[in-house]
Amino acid sequence: MTNNWTSAQNILVILAHPDDPEFFCGATLAQWARAGHRITYLLMTCGEKGFNPATHAEMTPEKLCNLRHTEQNNAAKIIGAQTVQFLNLPDGYLVPSLNLRRDTVREIRRYTPDILVTCDPQNLFAQYGINHPDHRACGQIVLDAVFPAAGNLVYFPELLAEGFQPHMPKEVWCSLTSQPNMTLDVSDTWDIKLKAILEHKTQIPDTNKLIERLKSRHTAESTDENPRYEENFRVIKYS
């Protein structure tokens, strides 16, 4: 399946951590960027807890936060995203609170996306085991912000006083899903996804193993010599 957009779309990607956009849907984002769509990243945390103090004694959360800002900006340039913003909330502690829902509604109204990308809050398990709670919380926060609040005048009227008018995206694309209804062929941008992921150096203990793993993720009917790569989404359309 493919999308049927006939004009340039304003795309807002709201995910939990640096590297989530690239790992979850980087090849799709690269395709969209090359098709002329405008892509903005909004990351809820800077992933400052993504290290092991036992093996990286010189690292601190503050130092890692700064490094991951740089890594994410570098990766986004490779993908073709125009803007990267961070909420800098505490890594690992995301919860779908009313305050964070309001903050997310504010950002949806600020950026007025046609297409909103997040992750599936129902996906408890991932290829590496248990899906990170921040991933699930982020997806829940975003979906709750979209409906019924983002496009409705009577939700969070204090945002009107700040100048943020209601806005409803046309489509929401949930990545990292176990119940997809949209599959895209991203073979032509898989190498771009891989190149962008490699910018997240603080999160890659073994570059060769990561490359091997990612290159092996072609579809079952394709081969290493002629691979086909796909990315899956749960898409909700409002128009």
pLDDT in tens, 130-151: 999 999 999 999 999 999 999 9
123-132 long-range CB contacts below 8 Å, 24 or more apart?
123/176, 123/177, 123/178, 125/178, 126/176, 131/176, 132/16, 132/17
Contact (Cβ atoms closer than 8 angstroms) between residue 88 and residue 145: no
* Residue range 36-92, pLDDT digits in tens: 999 999 999 999 999 988 788 899 999 999 999 999 999 999 999 999 999 999 999
For residue 27, pLDDT over 50 is answered with yes
Tokens of 124: 């408890």
User: CA 42 → CA 50, 82, 111, 190, distances in Å?
Assistant: 18, 11, 10, 22
Contact (Cβ atoms closer than 8 angstroms) between residue 131 and residue 123: yes
State the total domains in the chain: 1
Q: Is residue 2 part of a domain?
A: no
Residue 1's pLDDT band (boundaries 50, 70, 90)?
very low
- Amino acid 120: pLDDT: 97
- Amino acid 56: pLDDT: 86
Chain-centroid distance of CA 174 in Å reads 9
* Residue range 96-120, pLDDT digits in tens: 999 999 999 999 999 999 999 999 9
User: CA 62 → CA 36, 68, 75, 135, distances in Å?
Assistant: 36, 10, 20, 21
Alpha helices in the chain (DSSP H): 20-34, 61-79, 98-111, 133-144, 157-161, 190-197, 207-215
Residue 2's pLDDT band (boundaries 50, 70, 90)?
low
For residue 58, give the amino acid letter.
E
**Residues spanned by the domain of 160:** 10-237
* Residue range 175-202, pLDDT digits in tens: 999 999 999 999 999 999 999 999 999 9
Q: Is residue 3 part of a domain?
A: no
The CATH code of the domain that includes 182 is 3.40.50.10320
- Amino acid 126: pLDDT: 76
Q: Is residue 5 part of a domain?
A: no
Q: Is residue 181 part of a domain?
A: yes
pTM (two decimals) = 0.96
Contact (Cβ atoms closer than 8 angstroms) between residue 233 and residue 182: yes
